[in-house]
Amino acid sequence: MIDTLTLGISDFELTDKSNFHLVSDTNLSSGETQERFYYNTDTYNITIDKKGLKLQFSLPKLYGLKDNFYPVGLNSFEVAMNHLERSLDSIGLVADLDNAKILRLDLFKNVETSQSFSAYSDILRVLGLKRTYNRAYPNGFLSGNTNREVCFYNKVRELTESLGSNYVRQVYNFSGENIVRGELRFLKHREVKKNGLDLLKDLLNQWSNLKITYSNYMSEVFKYDVSQGGGVDLNSETLQALVSQALLYLKLNGKRAFKRYGFYPFCFASKQELREILNEKYSRAQVYSILSQIDKEQKEVFANSSKDRQLYQELKEKFLNNWEVQNEKREL
């Protein structure tokens, strides 16, 4: 469930600086010298400056797993925190972890899909949270702003690139790339706190609610009900050509593009690219109105495309439900 955690700690004592890398910066105008201390391992990274101590780690790796594919359970979380406290003490750093502020929290879920990751590209490309920008990557899609992000990507490909195909075959026995990972990232403390969490110790009390929090955000992402409908599908090459043509026409001719193409091709365009073009042609209020209309059109697109409807419904069901397939690791 939890991958990356970033903690901010004000109550700590550095009893031995010799283990840390020191960087000193001098402000030329004021003459003030600022010191920063760094300590990095395979499982966690530490930065200490005038703001305090920042500690970042991947929970599954901190627990001792080689990769972060599987989540760890509550008991394993406590084991990992005890191990971390002892590790910090061994390098001369005494810190109050329980009262550390949660500066960043990443929640994730892996789902096994009926088809390879590439089959879901058009669906994932248009999903996103409210008031966010979208970015497309070769093996993933991200929607986010400075406070929160949701990211879907090809987990099998990512594991293969980082650990090698032999490791993936031997450990997980994946025969294809039919695993989609969905990550929900709270990038700021205020976003974490908005969801009922403030300090690290709050995770112990709120652990059972993390899945609810994740599902609530995914309900925002998968907001359409497309259980009914039917229609004719365009193949991916034809659709992409139509999208490119419509975007170019929009860039050159503004609102005439919507009279010519309607809203359909813009449902499959990069939201970031679309927003940039609209901002050049329209006022902020008009941009918001147009994007809202495109958002409504997306619902109709999914409902009337048999292929997209089935794939969308599959992802929606698996990311909102069926938590038992995660096979959470438990301490031995």
What is the reported pLDDT for 33?
83
Helix (H) or strand (E) holding 195: none
Task: Report d(CA 267, CA 222) in Å as an integer.
Answer: 15
Alpha-carbon distances, residue 13 vs 17, 52, 91, 103, 249 (angstroms): 10, 10, 11, 20, 61
What letter would DSSP give residue 102?
E
What is the reported pLDDT for 226?
65
The string of pLDDT tens digits covering residues 153-205 is 999 999 999 999 999 999 998 888 999 999 999 999 999 999 999 999 999 99
Answer yes or no: pTM beyond 0.75.
yes
Task: Report d(CA 245, CA 237) in Å as an integer.
Answer: 12
Residue 78 tokens, joined: 């406590």
Map residue 112 onto helix, strand or coil: strand
Contact of 286 with 151, CB cutoff 8 Å? no
Residue 165 tokens, joined: 């195909």
Task: Report d(CA 309, CA 226) in Å as an integer.
Answer: 6
DSSP codes joined into one string, 36-60: EEEEE-SSEEEEEETTEEEEEEEHH
The string of pLDDT tens digits covering residues 126-153 is 788 888 887 878 789 898 999 999 999 9
Contact of 35 with 118, CB cutoff 8 Å? no
Please say if the pLDDT value at position 52 is more than 90: yes
- Percent of the chain with pLDDT strictly greater than 90: 58
- The amino acid at residue 173 is N
- The amino acid at residue 249 is Y
What is the reported pLDDT for 61?
95
- Contacts (Cβ under 8 Å, ≥6 apart) of 233: 305, 306, 307, 308
What is the reported pLDDT for 41?
95
Q: How confident is the model at residue 325 (pLDDT cuts 50, 70, 90)?
A: very low
What is the reported pLDDT for 331?
39
- Percent of the chain with pLDDT strictly greater than 70: 92
Long-range contacts of 284-293 (CB under 8 A, 24+ apart): 290/258, 293/263
DSSP codes joined into one string, 13-42: EE--GGGSEEEEEE-TTT--EEEEEEEE-S
What is the reported pLDDT for 230?
47
Please say if the pLDDT value at position 32 is more than 90: no
The string of pLDDT tens digits covering residues 228-254 is 554 445 566 777 888 899 999 999 988
Q: Which residues pair with 47 in a beta bridge?
A: 38, 54
What is the reported pLDDT for 330?
42
What is the reported pLDDT for 161?
94
Out of 6-15, 168-177, 223-232, 299-308, least confident range: 223-232
What is the reported pLDDT for 234?
54
Report the C-alpha dihedral over residues 311, 313, 315, 316, rounded to 10 degrees: 160
Average predicted confidence (pLDDT) for the chain: 88
- The amino acid at residue 81 is M
Please say if the pLDDT value at position 304 is more than 70: no
CA-based max dimension of the chain: 70
Map residue 140 onto helix, strand or coil: strand
What is the reported pLDDT for 302?
65
Give the count of beta carbons closer than 10 Å to the beta carbon of residue 35: 12
User: Which of 154, 303, 301 lies closest to 242, judged by CA?
Assistant: 301
Task: Report d(CA 241, CA 224) in Å as an integer.
Answer: 26
Contact of 168 with 179, CB cutoff 8 Å? no
Please say if the pLDDT value at position 95 is more than 50: yes
Contact of 172 with 69, CB cutoff 8 Å? yes
